[in-house]
Structure 1
Amino acid sequence: MNPRPALWRRLLPAPALSLIVVAFWLLMSDSFTFGQLLLGMLLGVVVPLFAARLDREFARIGTLRPLPRLLCVMLWDILVSNLRVAMQVLGPEKRLTPGFIWVPLDIGNIHGIAALTSLITLTPGTVSSALSDDRRHLLVHVLHLTDADALIAEIKTRYEAPLMEIFP
């Protein structure tokens, strides 16, 4: 048996990632010198070795059918929320009632959770603040909180339900 392929595979677990690291290092460096090339090559070996040790979860995609509707809902919510937040910010400060809510999550896919947190944060007036260690609850800060249960129900029906179809 030839031990070389196993050694090369251990040293370069992801050759494409190594090339990308070297290329980005050279693009970000101030000058293209032999020293920068050597440093980029060293990083191209070291970075994938550490990246290979990370626990990766690969995205499983279910169906993309809910995506067009979800994008329309998101764009509409962003538009309406922009107007609402502008009126709230320009109005009397005493009328604002900011608060935090914990949203219980039914979605378990980490990529779906990441998409949900992004949608919430993209909507003006709400910011995803924390994810519980067990990934079952999401802490959301709300600029003007009047009915926590209604907001939780809205997040779950408008965003989480379609994301659960996309990311089963």
Structure 2
Amino acid sequence: MTSLFLINILLALAWGAVTGSFAEVNLLFGFLLGTFALYIIREQVGTSRYTRRLWQIVSLALLFVYELLLSALRVAVIVLRPKIELKPGIIAYPLTVDRDFEITMLANLITLTPGTLSVDVSDDRKTLYVHCIDVPDKQATIDDIKNGFERKILEAFR
């Protein structure tokens, strides 16, 4: 998997050399072109898993941007209300992810989303404690994380 990523980077650099421009946008285009080339020959060289994983990582990034915008809008609405009625709380989120990298990524994605903050991970690494600015329904918040960030992390890195 790592060797295919390096091949893709080499294809991007080759694209930069052929076009005579090593600008970031041109190298990104070369990387995408290399990904497409690896996708075309996926059956011959066995790159189908690489291209699928790359798409899943992009999908995770797009979900993060969507959740970032949505939660920023929610926090802005809360702040702009004349009367603020909140139910802040700390929820104990049961983790499905079990690798350190996955737990760290989930905790960081939650923390980077406005209105939420990862507070701690239990010693057995089975529970993540998350502070939320407004928790009207704890189970709905847990389900949102489980069906959103955690599911995308599992798809992208397993």
TM-score, length of structure 1 as denominator length = 0.60
Work out the percentage of aligned pairs sharing the same amino acid.
40
Change in CA separation of 1:140 and 1:93 when aligned onto 2, cut-off 3 Å = farther
SS in 2 for 1:116: helix
Read off the aligned partner of 2:67 and give its amino acid letter: D
Matched, 1:95 2:85: yes
Give the one of 137, 152, 157 matched to 2:127. Answer: 137
Instruction: Please tell me whether Structure 1 or Structure 2 has the larger radius of gyration of its CA atoms.
Output: 1
Give the one of 81, 85, 97 matched to 1:107. Answer: 97
Alpha-carbon deviations, 1:9-60, whole Å to 9, x = none?
xxxxxxxxxxxxxxxxxxxxxxxxxxxxxxxxxxxxxxxxxxxxxxxxxxxx
SS in 2 for 1:88: helix
More helix by share: 2
Give the one of 156, 163, 167 matched to 2:153. Answer: 163
Runs of 4 or more, structure 1, over 3 Å off, are: 62-65
Alpha-carbon deviations, 1:41-88, whole Å to 9, x = none?
xxxxxxxxxxxxxxxxxxxxx934311111111101111111110111
RMSD over aligned Cα atoms = 1.9
Correspondence list, 1:72-87, <5 A: 72-87=62-77
How far apart, in 1, do the equivalents of 2:111 and 2:131 lie?
9
Which stretch shows the higher mean deviation, 141-150 or 62-71? 62-71
1:28 corresponds in structure 2 to none
1:149 corresponds in structure 2 to 139
Read off the aligned partner of 2:132 and give its amino acid letter: V
How far apart, in 2, do the equivalents of 1:167 and 1:132 lie?
22
Where do 5+ consecutive residues of structure 2 fail to align?
A: 1-51
Where do 5+ consecutive residues of structure 1 fail to align?
A: 1-61
Change in CA separation of 1:133 and 1:93 when aligned onto 2, cut-off 3 Å = farther
How far apart, in 1, do the equivalents of 2:142 and 2:114 lie?
16
Answer yes or no: is the 8 Å Cα contact 1:111–1:167 preserved in 2: no
